[in-house]
Structure formats: C-alpha cells, structure tokens
Amino acid sequence: MEILQSIKQRFGIIGNNEGLNRSLEKALRVSATDISVLVTGESGVGKESIPKIIHQNSPRKHFKYIAVNCGAIPDGTIDSELFGHEKGAFTGATSNRSGYFEVADGGTIFLDEIGELPLQTQVRLLRVLENGEFIKVGSSRVQKTNVRIVAATNLKMDEAIAKEKFREDLYYRLSTVEINLPPLRERKEDIPLLFRKFAADFAQKYKMPTLRLDEGAQKILQNYYWNGNIRQLRNVAEQLSVLEKDRLLSSSTLNNYLPKSLNRLPALIERKKSNSDFSSEREILYKVLFDMKGDLNDLKKLTLELMQSGNSSETQEKNHNLIQKIYQNEDDKSDLKTIENHSVNLEDSNNIEKNSVNELKYDYAETVIEEEPLSLLEREIEMIKKALIRSKGKRKNAAKELGISERTLYRKIKQHNLNELEE
C-alpha cells in the first residue's frame, strides 16, 4: 500500500477508488517484464500515466521512453515516423531518417490511440511484436530493435475487429496484459479530491483564492456524468477559478458551467421493430381473422336456425350454446342478452310479421349462396347493409334482426362508413 501511495504522489495520480488501485497494482506487477500491455478506457481518464509507471519501474528506465499519438500522424507519413525511411523513398525524403523504433532501441514506446493505425502499418507493427524486425520505407534491409510496446485506445476493440478496422492477431499480441482505467463517473468518491487539487493548482497559477464547494455543489459534481472524464473536470475547475468572484461555489453557480447536453440521464428509447416483431404481429392478426371468421359462421348458423326452426327446448338449448360461444367477452354481455331475448321472443308473431320473416329467410339464403366467394369483411358489410335497408335505417330494428346490440351495430356502421344507409 505504501508503494502504491508513493507511485500516486510521483506521477500525480489522485484517488482511492478500488478500480483505479487495481489498475495501478497490475501496472506495477508487469513493469519488471517485457510483456506487451494494452491500456483501455474512455478518453480523458489518464491512460498516459500507465505506460510511464511501467517504464519507470522496469529495467528499461535508463533507456528512451517515446510516446506517439497514432491518431495525430497522417496515414501517408506514419510508416516513416515509426520505422524511418531511406533518402529518395518518396517526395521530400531528402535524407535518411531513423524511426521511433530505431531511436527507442532498448527502451519503451507508448502508442496512444492504437486503434487509429492504418491496416498496412498494423502489419508492420505485428512483425515488430513477433520477432523485433522492421524495414525502413524505401529499404530492403531488415533491421532489429529491442523495444517494449505499451499501447492505449478508447475504442471498443471487439467492434473494431468485427468491422475489419483492426487486425485480430495484432490485438492479441498487444493485449497480453490489458489494463482498464475506470471512467470518472465510477469514481464518485474521488471527484471532490480531484476538484480540490485542480482548484489549488489554478489558484496558485492565477494568484487567486482557492475555490471551495458547498454541500449542494459537491453532490452535483459527484452525480454529473462527466463525458470528458478527468480532462473535463479539470477544464471546469479552470473556468471557475478564472471567472467566479465568489470563491464559495453553490449548486446554481456550478450548474451554469456544466453542459446539459452531455449530462446523460436515463431515457426511454424506442426500440426498433425487428423482423421477428413483424412476424409475430402477422401471426396474431391471422389468428384474430380466423377467429372472426369462425364466429361469423356460427352467427350465420344461429340466425338461420332461429328463422327456420321452432322454439322447442332442444333448439333453445342449442342456440344458447352457440350464443355463448360467440359472445364470451364480458364487453359483449349486452349483446348476449339482446340475442337471448330475441331467441325467446321469436315465437311472438306480433314483433315480426310472417311475410317479413319469409322475405328475410329468402334474402339471407340468397346472400349465402351469392356471396360465398366474398371476403370475410365484405360479407359482414353486406349483411349490415341489407339489415339497414330492410329496417329503413332504424338501427334498433336492424340490430334486432342481426342478433346484436345496437351499440355493436353503431360501432360497425362507423367502422365501415355506412352512415349514408341510415335515415
């Protein structure tokens, strides 16, 4: 633990987060070896400290340490920067040049933003990792180098490999040991310590009193998302040190310096429908349509039997069972009552004249024969149309004839736009 604290003081690392301590301990353990190390973590978490710790605690500490930002070097010149070039190798190569791998022989090279390397350069780097050999641009002579490589990236390497932007074999050679630094939002207990350190540094730099945080401001700092991690926190501390006259910061003052667009709060995100979603919806729709078709066929059968049969006890029981099968839903209890009443009172010739019944029987039978090729929806519409015409637009009589409630008939009229058939 004492060694860890001395490392933090030497390299300016602040915090006691468990994840941070674990990463530092891992760096100390591998420093005595020549194992390649890959440092991962979001941008701004301080990945550049790890290769320095590894180099300064390794047998190579008396040799050169070179840090290279791979993302800052143009694709056309990165091979020359890393491996050197011969005079005349390309336009502008007026003399021989030694690359970083030649200059750092015996020492350590830190390749920051390794995920930005072009694929051609990745092949050259893989050869260095495998056998310590490289060839200068424009040369055919193989040269040897003895360097330790520590790389860093903020990319998700599995995604980069899947998109063929990074070689899988190179990734495995680089990540013999992988050290991950946690983002600042996972180090909430360290945020006030870091802010106080930055505030003290800037107070000394700009010759101003040191900033202090009240309880509300401290909670806001700890709960903020910190998309830019330590780099963003340092930037906010510098702005506040320069611009604020009141050196005790309140929550309202601090909020003015925190970008709201970057404070990622939980949000509901609409999930895109996949092919499986559409498939399941189609299956449900088909099932509903088949059930409707079966219900309509039962309704036809019931209607014919009500008109063609007497009111015997056997017929009543059979009709009752059919009615219950069609109107099982609680919402259609009123429909069930209407149909049952219609079945019981069918014997009363005062409600429906004999001639009208005969005409209805004939028209319905004719409809069944003629409309057999029609779709399920067309059949339903035609039945409602004829019932409305016979009842001269009276919904109550039409519903009674169809054996459904007036409410259900009204809903069907609106659904099929049959308002013009009413009075």
Taking the domain 185-262, which CATH number applies?
A: 1.10.8.60
Please state, in angstroms and rounded to a whole number, the distance separating the CA atoms of residues 325 and 104: 87
- Please state whether the predicted TM-score (pTM) of the whole model is above 0.85: no
CA distances from 166 to 37, 135, 153, 229, 230 (A): 17, 21, 12, 26, 27
pLDDT for 269: 43
pLDDT for 293: 74
Question: Per-residue confidence of the chain (423 residues) as pLDDT tens digits?
Answer: 788 999 999 999 999 999 999 999 999 999 999 999 999 999 999 999 999 999 999 999 999 999 999 999 998 899 999 999 999 998 888 999 999 999 999 999 999 999 999 999 999 999 999 999 999 999 999 999 999 999 999 999 999 999 999 999 999 999 999 999 999 999 999 999 999 999 999 999 999 999 999 999 999 999 999 999 999 999 999 999 999 999 999 999 999 999 875 445 444 444 444 454 455 566 666 666 767 777 777 777 767 666 555 555 665 666 566 556 555 544 444 544 544 454 444 444 444 444 444 444 444 444 443 444 456 777 778 888 888 888 877 888 888 888 888 888 888 887 777 775 655
CATH 3.40.50.300 location in the chain:
2-182
Residue with tokens 């009443």: 341
CATH 1.10.8.60 location in the chain:
185-262
248 touches 214 (CB < 8 A): yes
CATH class label, 2-182: alpha beta
pLDDT for 399: 82
Please state, in angstroms and rounded to a whole number, the distance separating the CA atoms of residues 102 and 93: 18
pLDDT for 400: 82
**Residues 6 or more apart whose Cβ sits within 8 Å of residue 19:** 180, 181, 182, 186, 187
Please state, in angstroms and rounded to a whole number, the distance separating the CA atoms of residues 392 and 213: 82
Please state, in angstroms and rounded to a whole number, the distance separating the CA atoms of residues 395 and 410: 7
